[in-house]
Amino acid sequence: MRRPWGVLALSVVAVSAASAFISLQGPPPSPPPSGDPVQPIAFPHNTHAGQFRIDCQYCHFSAERSLSAGIPPVESCMGCHTVIQGRNRPEEVNKLREYWNRGEPIPWVRIYKVADHVRFPHMRHVSPQGGNLDCSECHGAVEEIEVIRGVAQPLTMGWCVDCHRKKEASVDCTVCHY
Ligand code: HEC
Ligand code: HEC
Ligand code: HEC
Ligand code: HEC
Ligand code: HEC
């Protein structure tokens, strides 16, 4: 009865070595700050948040409640775009309908991202009971940007800590680091 266990133990080692290899490779890298991510649909923030004054949190619905601000699901786009074809870029709205018809989520490319060892809670920054900061403090005048192509701020530790000092928020290592 010893031999099969030995074989089993060996294959467990082999499997975990293989998965360690896979996890070392990690997820696909997000674009560098200066990069120019090509989004699956050219989503115009200036039209939605500027011209039509749709509230940021109508789409980024969880900013006041959780760590992430949230990216809207296809359903929230279709509330308007079943009827609105768009006069300037109707072909982009066609792409949106194709994702909807296939029942697929839109694979948006992530732009703002801190390192995995850093904790960034949106709700602590934007909720009225927290920092009560405007989105533009960190993301710039998004309502004027046609397509977001890069970050408005460096997202370095110095940037975080400078504002924390100014606003008398905690600069304790453990509030930001896991
Ligand atoms: C009609 C829905 C809608 C509204 C309104 C909207 N957004 Fe967005 N936002 C999106 C979508 C879709 C994306 C993903 C595509 C992209 O990155 O351009 C996005 C992406 C972003 C990103 C980049 C996310 C990343 O990948 O890191 C930021 C920052 C952002 N929005 C901020 C804002 C702010 C600030 C406002 C208000 C001034 C706003 N948005 C209004 C739909 C919306
Ligand atoms: C509250 C209504 C509303 C929602 C929700 C909405 N849109 Fe729009 N969208 C509009 C309006 C209005 C226009 C401008 C149409 C025009 O000027 O002809 C537009 C324009 C666009 C355009 C450019 C088309 C053009 O010709 O201007 C794209 C692409 C687009 N929306 C994608 C999206 C996506 C993706 C979502 C979901 C993340 C979304 N929209 C959510 C109302 C909305
Ligand atoms: C104090 C700075 C700051 C403020 C204020 C802020 N953000 Fe962010 N935002 C960030 C950082 C940093 C990231 C990257 C977070 C990460 O990687 O976990 C981010 C990521 C995002 C993302 C992409 C990922 C996600 O969280 O879903 C969206 C969308 C976004 N912010 C929208 C908003 C909106 C809308 C507001 C206002 C309601 C806002 N942010 C306010 C700093 C800020
Ligand atoms: C523009 C100013 C500003 C920037 C930039 C900023 N923060 Fe903050 N942050 C605040 C304020 C103000 C608070 C305190 C909110 C409150 O009182 O609840 C806070 C609170 C926090 C908290 C909760 C602290 C606690 O005591 O539990 C964390 C975690 C945090 N920030 C992380 C970050 C990280 C990580 C970055 C950079 C990626 C960052 N912040 C950038 C203003 C900022
Ligand atoms: C307000 C949030 C915040 C606080 C407080 C904070 N850090 Fe950081 N730290 C960050 C962010 C954001 C990064 C990622 C920077 C980047 O990717 O460029 C980081 C990165 C780091 C790194 C990695 C450096 C690298 O090259 O990636 C170390 C080590 C570190 N911090 C240590 C500390 C120590 C020690 C303290 C306490 C004295 C501390 N941090 C306090 C936000 C914070």
In a domain, 128, yes or no: yes
In a domain, 4, yes or no: no
What is the pLDDT, as a whole number, of residue 37?
Answer: 72
How many angstroms separate the alpha carbon of residue 84 from the centre of ligand 3?
28
Average pLDDT of the chain, as a whole number:
85
pLDDT in tens, 9-25: 333 333 333 333 333 33
3 state DSSP class of 44: coil
Q: What is the mean pLDDT of residues 88-111?
A: 97
Q: Which residue type is seen at 70?
A: G
In a domain, 21, yes or no: no
Domain housing 152:
45-71+108-176
The secondary structure of residue 32, as a DSSP letter, is: P
| Rounded CA separation 77/115 (Å) | 30
What is the pLDDT, as a whole number, of residue 21?
Answer: 34
* Ligand positioned closest to the Cα atom of 157: 5
In a domain, 31, yes or no: no
In a domain, 93, yes or no: no
In a domain, 64, yes or no: yes
In a domain, 80, yes or no: no
Helix (H) or strand (E) holding 163: helix 157-166
pTM > 0.85: yes or no: yes
* Ligand positioned closest to the Cα atom of 49: 1
Q: How many domains does the chain have?
A: 1
Q: Tell me which of 45, 46, 48, 82 to substitute to probe ligand 2's pocket, judged by most ligand atoms within 8 Å of the beta carbon.
A: 48
**Residues whose beta carbon lies within 6 Å of some atom of ligand 1:** 39, 43, 45, 48-49, 54, 56, 58-60, 71-72, 108, 110-112, 135, 139, 142-143, 148
Q: What atom of ligand 3 comes closest to residue 111's alpha carbon? A: 23
83: Cβ–Cβ under 8 A, 6 or more apart, which residues?
Answer: none
pLDDT in tens, 37-90: 789 999 999 999 999 999 999 999 999 999 999 999 999 999 999 999 999 999
In a domain, 96, yes or no: no
How many angstroms separate the alpha carbon of residue 90 from the centre of ligand 2?
10
